[in-house]
Structure 1
Amino acid sequence: MALVADTLNTFFTHDFDCVIDVRSPAEFAEDRVPGAINLPVLDNEERARVGTIYKQESPFKARKIGAALVFRNAAAHVAGPLAHHQGGWRPLIYCWRGGQRSGTFTWMLREIGWRAEVVQGGYKAYRRLVTSALYDNPLPHRLIQLGGYTGTAKTALLPRLAARGIQVLDLEGLARHRGSLLGERPEGQPAQKGFESDLIRALHALDPALPVVVEAESSKIGQINLPPALWDAMKSAPWIEISAPIEARARYLAEAYADILADGPRLTQQLAPLRFFRGHGLVDRWDAMIAEGARLALCRSLAEDHYDPAYRTSMRAQAPRILHREETASLTPDALDELADRLAAHLQKIRI
């Protein structure tokens, strides 16, 4: 029996004990159904080999070799990671199209006595639903953008607002990037499709009847593009703007970007492209600050001479509707807690 997945809710609220992705590790790494585990019936090399035989030699030969590999790998999964399951276990299985890989594995599990089902259409059916939600239809959610100059701790405010009962969407967290020239994180970014899966799952957990606070971003976070439905909703969303003194912002940036500031040669390399936008003189001054270890002065100059002009240009172009402005003299943890209290109290009164 095949599961017909006609809505994303099918994947988010199912009652199966486990979701198993039997595609290759490379396919799984790019994207997967949220919560799925990977038990490949063909690994990366095997899949490439069978595909080459199919195209260059014989479809029959490819299917014969592929079947032997699938059964061998499936048997290893049954004897290994699945061995502890009892007879009532009910897994949901999918591959790329819901074809031979998932069909064969599901047949084997059923023959053992487990109540396995396969996703009709496989991963492609799931991906079509994600694309429809993020590319073809408007978001049902009502967004409020949290804006302000770089270094006003907007990212740090999101979890504080969530702890106070405000719905938030942390795009930088999902994109694994701090959203600026120096925003790279050691773990790297997900693939675009993987980001979109995490995004749609986060959106699914939010109540469309209540506002959702999202940090003001450009249409691209690192190498991740914001899907059209989200970007359109952000462009039309009203703003709440945070402001803080430059001294406080520089201190906050020096702490938030301590890992990047600690690697002088790499930081110099990352700032080099700005010579074409901000001039050689300014970037030479930054290089000197890096060499001297003058982190606070560097962060202040980066804010005043690079990020702030870019923010002002963006604000003139967007001209967002500002619902509320909040000022804070400090960006210490205690000050951010107090700021979050004020923001949450105001957000709870907003109707958009």
Structure 2
Amino acid sequence: MTAQVTEDVSAEALGRFDMVIDVRSPGEFAQDHLPGAVNLPVLTDAERAEVGTMYVQDSRFKARRLGAAYVARNVARHLEGAVADRDGGFAPLIYCWRGGMRSNAMATIFDQVGWRTTVLSGGYRTYRRYVTRRLYDEGLALRFVLLDGHTGSAKTEMLGQLSAMGLQTVDLEGLAQHRGSLFGALAGRPQPSQKLFESRLLQVLDGLDPNRPVVAEAESSKIGDRMVPPALWTCLAHAPRMELVASRPERAKYLVETYADMIADPAALMVAIDRMPVAPSLERRAAWMSLIAAGAFADLAEAIMALHYDPAYDRSARKQDRPLLGVVDIVPTEPQSVARATARIAELVAGLDDGGVRGDG
């Protein structure tokens, strides 16, 4: 019995397997992996480094022998653990970096067990070429409509409520693990790699119905350190928008609640302030430090919006040539106001006809 081979990494194809197994090291897996994949490494990060060093600096034969010993032990551990409860009909897909020794080693053993094993030809690199083609070289046949508005107008919260109502949404900030601003880093949650961000994004996009509009926040081409891929950016750049309007004091109150983690770390807050493209004067910076010391964070938020965020948004709005579907007033700190605004946004989205803007080039 020999393992089958496939190059198909579409969502439909991957869904036919009982388990997608990534046998690469945990470090490789953390950088990016196929959607839904389970990491059952045949070499740990330390073992992989040891074998690689021996291969280059000592003896290829010794490196292969050592690697084989590690692989045998690790596969045995997975047989006794992660896949111990699988019956004779188990049908996994196995992949490594390029469909070589690591995936074939596990596949050979799984074949001997009697499982219907498939190896991904070309390994992870085949999948990565697929993602690149979809997000960089092709178009997306999806219709987007954007939530726009000044910083602090509860766009992200509204996106979640629209999703709960059954509308199609894409939460780019959630996928990028960043709130999309200088102060947007999430405490204790580093951003995913660019490749992992793209993998998660493509998985979400593939789950959308192209016949229904998709709501997303109006974002810049970068969210933190992650770049929005060209295929999606083309869609967003031409999508109609809906603008949320809220007063600056109300937005400041909302930001104090939303950025509670940043407020809890004054040192990180000052680091972010010092990265602002329009640097505050020494006098203004001292005043802001006094606000932080006094716990006057709403006043600080207003001051930062007045200097940086609101002028940047207003400049961008003046250059805006995307259709404006409607303007919706909102008090972001009042749940009833947010609910009313969400209902109005849902009405505007429902009013889109099939002739809406598409991003399929």
- Asked if these proteins are the same fold (TM beyond 0.5), I'd say yes
2:142 is aligned to: 141
In 1, Cα distance between the equivalents of 2:339 and 2:60? 63
2:20 is aligned to: 19
TM-score, structure 2 as length reference:
0.92
Residues 1:57 and 2:58 are matched in the alignment: yes
In 1, Cα distance between the equivalents of 2:227 and 2:332? 33
TM-score, structure 1 as length reference:
0.95
Q: Is the 8 A contact 2:176 2:192 kept in 1?
A: yes
Q: Is the 8 A contact 2:96 2:102 kept in 1?
A: yes
In 1, Cα distance between the equivalents of 2:12 and 2:121? 12
- For residues 69-108 of structure 1, the aligned pairs below 5 Å read 69-108=70-109
Question: 1:117-137, CA deviations, whole angstroms, 9 ceiling, x for partnerless residues?
Answer: 211221111111101011111
1:219 is aligned to: 221
In 2, Cα distance between the equivalents of 1:155 and 1:265? 26
In 1, Cα distance between the equivalents of 2:324 and 2:280? 29
Q: Is the 8 A contact 1:242 1:326 kept in 2?
A: yes
In 1, Cα distance between the equivalents of 2:211 and 2:286? 51
Letter in 2 for 1:35: G
2:183 is aligned to: 182
Q: Structure 1 200/275 Cα, relative in aligned 2: closer, same or farther at 3 Å?
A: closer
- For residues 2-41 of structure 1, the aligned pairs below 5 Å read 2-6=4-8, 8-12=10-14, 14-41=15-42
Q: Is the 8 A contact 2:168 2:215 kept in 1?
A: yes
In 1, Cα distance between the equivalents of 2:18 and 2:10? 18
Which 10-residue stretch deviates more, 271-280 or 98-107? Answer: 271-280
1:172 is aligned to: 173
Deviation of 1:11 after TM superposition, in Å, equals 4.8
In 2, Cα distance between the equivalents of 1:3 and 1:342? 51
1:337 is aligned to: 339
Question: 1:177-214, CA deviations, whole angstroms, 9 ceiling, x for partnerless residues?
Answer: 11111101121111111111100000011111211111
Q: Structure 1 233/325 Cα, relative in aligned 2: closer, same or farther at 3 Å?
A: same
In 1, Cα distance between the equivalents of 2:226 and 2:129? 19
Q: Is the 8 A contact 1:274 1:283 kept in 2?
A: no
Q: Is the 8 A contact 1:5 1:11 kept in 2?
A: no
In 2, Cα distance between the equivalents of 1:139 and 1:41? 37
Question: 1:32-73, CA deviations, whole angstroms, 9 ceiling, x for partnerless residues?
Answer: 111111110011111122222333334333322222221121
Residues 1:154 and 2:134 are matched in the alignment: no
In 1, Cα distance between the equivalents of 2:8 and 2:225? 30
In 2, Cα distance between the equivalents of 1:275 and 1:117? 51
1:117 is aligned to: 118
Letter in 2 for 1:212: V
Backbone CA RMSD of aligned residues: 1.7
1:203 is aligned to: 205
Question: 1:308-344, CA deviations, whole angstroms, 9 ceiling, x for partnerless residues?
Answer: 0111122234443212211124542222111111110
Q: Is the 8 A contact 1:289 1:295 kept in 2?
A: yes
Letter in 2 for 1:304: A
Aligned residues: 351
Which 10-residue stretch deviates more, 45-54 or 127-136? Answer: 45-54
Q: Structure 1 168/294 Cα, relative in aligned 2: closer, same or farther at 3 Å?
A: same
Deviation of 1:114 after TM superposition, in Å, equals 1.9
Work out the percentage of aligned pairs sharing the same amino acid. Answer: 46
Q: Is the 8 A contact 2:95 2:103 kept in 1?
A: yes
Q: Structure 1 329/68 Cα, relative in aligned 2: closer, same or farther at 3 Å?
A: closer
Q: Structure 1 104/81 Cα, relative in aligned 2: closer, same or farther at 3 Å?
A: same
In 1, Cα distance between the equivalents of 2:335 and 2:129? 43
Q: Is the 8 A contact 1:19 1:93 kept in 2?
A: yes
Deviation of 1:276 after TM superposition, in Å, equals 5.1
Question: 1:255-305, CA deviations, whole angstroms, 9 ceiling, x for partnerless residues?
Answer: 111121122222122212338534333332221110111011112222222
Letter in 1 for 2:218: A
Residues 1:271 and 2:269 are matched in the alignment: no
2:359 is aligned to: none
Q: Structure 1 244/181 Cα, relative in aligned 2: closer, same or farther at 3 Å?
A: same
Q: Is the 8 A contact 1:278 1:306 kept in 2?
A: no
Deviation of 1:100 after TM superposition, in Å, equals 1.1
Secondary structure, aligned partner of 2:72:
helix
Letter in 1 for 2:51: V
Letter in 1 for 2:116: R
2:233 is aligned to: 231
